[in-house]
Structure formats: C-alpha cells, structure tokens
Structure 1
Amino acid sequence: MNRFMEEQQFQQVMKEYTDYLLRLAYLYIKDWSAAEDIVQDVFLTYYQKFEQFGERASLKTYLAKITINKCKDYLKSWRYRKQVLTNNFFNPSKKGRDRIIEEDEKLELADAVLRLPVKYREVIIYYYFEELSVLEISQLLSIPDNTIKTRLRKARSLLKIQLKENDWEVLIHE
C-alpha cells in the first residue's frame, strides 16, 4: 500500500465507526451539528496520519481518543462559549418541550447525565453505556484507575442529588 490508505479501506472504517463516534462526540458536547463536524475532522485526521496508527490499541480506541481530544478542544473554544452564551441569552427555558416526554425516566436520566461536568459525564458514559472496565477507561483517558473510581463515585452522588425525587433502581444499591 502506498502512502495513503486505499479508498475502499477508508470507506469501511468510516462506515464501521461513524455512529459510535457521533454518539461519543454528542455525549461530550451536546450538539449534533458540532458532533458531526468533529467526527468529520476525526476521519480527516485519521486519513492524514494513518501511518502513525501503530496498532498499539484497537482502531476503535484510537479513533475514540482522537474524538475525545477534539471534543475537549471544542469545549475550550470561543465558538462553543459564544454559542452557550447565545443559547442562554435567547432561550432561557425549555418551555417548548413536551411535558409527557419530560416525565419519561430514560430521558430524565439521560438529561441528568448530560448535565454532569465533562469529567464525570465521560466516566459514567464509558462505564455504564459503553460497558468499559475501570482499567479500560483509565487507559482510554490516560488517567489513574483510582481517579476513575473517584470520579464514578462523585458522578453517582451528583446523579442521586439530581434524581432524588424518583426512586431509581440503579442508584438504590450504590
């Protein structure tokens, strides 16, 4: 194979990982259009730096790491801060939301998770939704496993506070 990946191989990688990376990016930044932009940028980076992927980890982990870094960069950017400021100024409440949907437990839990700070949100998502072990999360985020355990405990306690009105079976045993 020459310097660039074959087009067919690259298309297969995109087809296989796009949905996963979109969900991952959305869970970090809570904006579909920005998540789509980030995932496009991830694939562009992967295409340009294909030779650097030394298969020390799985391709999924490698792409997830690139996505996480790009999401964190986005959250630090002026574009994001300007958008949050604009949304808070022009749309101060969620009055337009359907009342029945708000009562749905799954949506309520998802909203609570999305309201967590990024460092707690990411460990909850990886541990419960992606079903990664503490060690796998530690390797993915490049932080000690005890830090992951601490963040999981703190995230659970924050979720308990947010969801204390309802009896959540998941949180009763924690």
Structure 2
Amino acid sequence: MGISEELDSAHHRRQLLEKLMDQYGESLTRLAMTYVKDQYIAEDIIQETFLKVYKNLDRFEGRSSYQTYLYRIVMNGCYDYLRSWHHRKVQITEKFTLTHEEGNTSEKHLLDKDKNLELAQNVLKLSIKLREVIILFYYQDFTVDEIAKTLDISQNTVKTRLFRARKKLENQLKEGGWEW
C-alpha cells in the first residue's frame, strides 16, 4: 500500500470513528455506567473502547452491526473492570442520574422522578446477567435478536433472562410498596 492509500485509509478510519462516537458515545457511556456505577470509570472504558475500535477497524468483518460490535466491546471492558483488583479493593457508590426538564417542578414530575429513581435502583440491584438484558431491551431499545447477538447467547436465553428480570423487579418493587 502506498503512502497516499495509507493516508486515505487513516482518514476514512478517523471519519468513521468520529461518526461512531457521535452516534453511540452517549448510549455506550450510559451502558457502562450501569455496570461500573461510576461516571469517570465508565468514560475511561468508553475511551478505551474507541481506541480499540480505531486500531482494529480494518479487521471489522461486518458480521454484526457497528452497534452490536461496540456494545460487546464496552460490556467486555466493564466485565474486565469488575473482575479487576482495583474494583474489588475500592467500594463503588451507586450513582444513577436522571435527566429532567428544567423548570418542571410539578408534583407529578417529582413523583415520576422518585419512581424512576427507585426503579433504576432496583434494576441496579439485579445480577449482571439480568441487569444487562433489561438495560439493553428497555433503555437501549435493542430487540431480542440484537441482545442475543451482542451477548453471544440464544434468543431463548434472552427471553428467559428478561422474564426472570421482570419477575424479580416486580417482587422487589412490591416489597418496596409499589402499586400496580
């Protein structure tokens, strides 16, 4: 490959990476947050993810979508962090930020915010296997098929985990006094 072809390839990779960062950066950070529960660590994992993607873009075979590819890398990065010595030695505090419209201070909004926070806290209490399917399905709008490909499990396993996660959440919320 000549110098001009290498420059074109590098330019193309850079443009694609910028597009992927713009398109998926926020949702990937939110996903990482649900695993590691720390904004700075989540951002580090996302930065590492995009470095890996940039270095390996030429090897991407297109057997999955870029979205599935990115989510898998982020989840692996989160798993690696959660298994790390650093994580086991440092107590992580649960943080879950909710966005809301500024200026809306109605009683309904405050009740909705409290319910959303309580629901989010209960989702974070689930085991990782149950939490990840709930987050991908409800918060990231993945289909069962996309979740199966991302997690490298069968669609039936995804459905089973979704069922178990919903049941567990329902029980947790009933114990907390939620009315259905």
Relative to the length of structure 2, the TM-score reads: 0.78
Q: Does 1:11 align with 2:18?
A: yes
Of 154, 168, 179, 1:167 maps to 179
RMSD over aligned CA atoms reads 2.3
Q: Give the ranges of 4+ consecutive aligned residues of structure 1 lying more than 4 Å apart after TM superposition.
A: 100-103
Question: Within 1, Cα distance between the matches of 2:17 and 2:139?
Answer: 27
1:111 counterpart residue number: 121
CA contact (8 A) 1:101 1:107 kept: no
User: Deviations for 1:102-146, whole angstroms, at most 9, x for unmatched residues?
Assistant: 981011001110111110000111111222222221111101122
Identity of aligned residues (%): 43
What residue ranges of structure 1 are gaps of 5+ in the alignment? 89-99, 169-174
Aligned residues: 156
Question: Within 2, Cα distance between the matches of 1:102 and 1:30?
Answer: 22
Pairing of 1:5-84 with structure 2 (within 5 A): 5-6=10-11, 7-84=14-91
Question: Within 2, Cα distance between the matches of 1:63 and 1:103?
Answer: 30
1:95 counterpart residue number: none
- Residue 161 to residue 132, structure 1, CA distance change in 2 (3 Å): same
Relative to the length of structure 1, the TM-score reads: 0.80
CA contact (8 A) 1:120 1:155 kept: yes
What residue ranges of structure 2 are gaps of 5+ in the alignment? 94-109
- Residue 5 to residue 115, structure 1, CA distance change in 2 (3 Å): farther
